[in-house]
Amino acid sequence: MIVKRIKTIQQGDINKVSKILKQENLSGFNAGPGPSFYGGENVQLLEKEFCDYFKCRYAVSVNSWTSGLEIAVASLRLKAGTEVICSPWSMSATVAAIANNQCTPVFADIDPLSFNINPSMIEEKITDKTGAILITEMYGQSCDIKNIIKIAKKYKLFTISDTAQAIGSKVENKFTGTHTDIGGFSFNWHKHLNCGEGGMIITNNDKLAKRMMMLRNHGEGVDGDFGHNFRMTETSASLIRDQLPRLARRIKARNLIVEQLENMVYNDKIKFPKLYNGNTHVYCTLPLLVEGKKLRDKIHKSLSALYPVRKTFSRGPLNLLKACSGFHRKMPIAEQIPNMLLDFDMNYAYTNRDIGIIADFLNNSTYTH
C-alpha cells in the first residue's frame, strides 16, 4: 500500500477523552426516571448539536447504527408478518432489523448506476401487508427520494432511511435522512465521523422519538415496550462532537478527489456513480462499474497491491444470503453488481500523483480475449 490512512482523531479529541477517563465519567445514563435517563452531558449536547446541524427536531444517539435500525423499526410498532420493502444491496443489518422485529423483508431491485433502490421497482412490491419502506443510501448519496416519498404517501407507508454511508449528503439542499419518518447515521471506524462504534437516529416525529429514547434505554415496559441497552458512552459522544464541525471539510476533500479522477478517466468501460438531479454525494467509498468481470478482475489485481480497493461486498446481495432463503426473490441487477464493481476506500490521503496512477490503470487496462 503506497497511501496512508487519514487520521480522523486529532490530539485535541484525545485530550478531551482522556479527561473523561480520568474523571471516570464514562456513561451518564441511568435506566430510572430523571434527567440521566437521557444520558450524560456529552451525549445530550451531541444530540442537540445534531438537531442544529441537520435541522431536525430530535436526535437519538445509540451504540451502533445496527442498534439504531433495530429500534427505528421497533418504534413503528408494525404487526408480526408486516412486509417492509428494502434494497438487496445493503449491509445485512438492514434486513436483520426487519426480521428481528418479526416483519418480512421484501426486496426491490436497484438502479445499477446509483446502487440505490429503484422507485419503479417498489410500487409493484406493495401489497395489503406492506407497512414500510426501508431505503439504504449507498456509498454516499440519497436515493431518488422524491419519488419514493410520493409512493409512501400514496399507500400510507412509513419510511426509514439507512443513511449510514451518506451523512452530510443533500437532496435539494435538505440533508439526506431528514426526508423520511426516521433517518440515521453510522459512526463506525471507517465512516466520515468515527468513534469506533456508534450511531445517531434523527426524526421530526414526537411519538417515534419518544419510543426510540425508551427503547434505547431498556424501556422497562414503559408505554408497553421493553427495550435494550443501546446507549452511547460519554467518550464516543465526545469524539463525534469534536468531529462534527469538520464533516463539511472532509466531504469537500473527497469530492475534489473524485472530480479530479473522473476528469482524467476516459475509458468508456468504466462508469462513475450516477448523481440524481438535486443530489450531492459524500463518497463514503467510490464505487466504479467495470464492463466485464475479467476486465474488473484484471484492474483489481493491478491496483489492489498499491491502493485500498475491493471488488464488492464479500457476501453479495442480501437476497442470496442463506438467512434470507425464506423470502428469496431474484434481483437481476443487484446480482450482477459483484461481477462489475471496483470500490475504493476514501479514508486515505490520495495525492495528485496517486490519482494520476489510478487513472492510468483505469484507462489502459483493456482486456483482450
Q: Which domains does the chain have, with CATH numbers?
A: 11-245 (3.40.640.10), 246-364 (3.90.1150.10)
Bridge-based pairing state of the strands 285-290 and 270-271: antiparallel
What is the pLDDT, as a whole number, of residue 260? 97
SS3 254: helix
Question: How many residues in total does the chain contain?
Answer: 369
pLDDT of residue 369: 33
> Going by C-beta distance under 8 Å and a sequence separation of 6 or more, which residues neighbour residue 184?
65, 68, 69, 72, 161, 162, 163, 164, 177, 199, 200, 201, 202
**Alpha carbons 37 and 22: distance in angstroms, whole number:** 23
Instruction: Give DSSP secondary structure letters for 107-138.
Output: E--B-TTT-SBPHHHHGGG--TTEEEEEEE--
Sign of torsion, CA 310 293 114 91?
negative
Q: What gap in Å lies between CA 131 and CA 49, rounded to an integer?
A: 32
Q: Where are the alpha helices (H) located in 24-64, listed in sequence order?
A: 41-54
C-alpha triplet 241, 244, 249: angle, nearest 5°: 150
Q: Strand order in 83-86's β-sheet?
A: 58-62, 199-203, 182-186, 158-162, 130-136, 83-86, 104-107
Query: Using CA atoms, how far apart are residues 209 and 2, in angstroms rounded to an integer?
Result: 45
The DSSP call for residue 338 is G
pLDDT at 314: 62
Q: What is the pTM of this model?
A: 0.94
For 146, residues 6+ apart whose C-beta sits below 8 A from its C-beta are 171
- Taking phi first (over 0 means left), then psi (-120 to 50 degrees means alpha), and beta for anything else, what does residue 307 get? beta
What pLDDT, on a 0 to 100 scale, did the predictor assign at position 1? 65
- pLDDT mean for each 10 residues of the chain (369 residues): 84 94 90 87 98 98 98 97 96 94 96 93 96 97 96 98 97 96 96 96 97 91 79 97 97 97 96 93 96 93 92 81 80 93 93 95 69
Please, is 76 exposed, middle or buried when counting C-beta atoms within 10 Å of its C-beta (0-12, 13-18, 19+)?
Answer: buried
Contact 30/37 with Cβ under 8 angstroms?
Answer: yes
What pLDDT score was predicted for residue 368?
Answer: 40
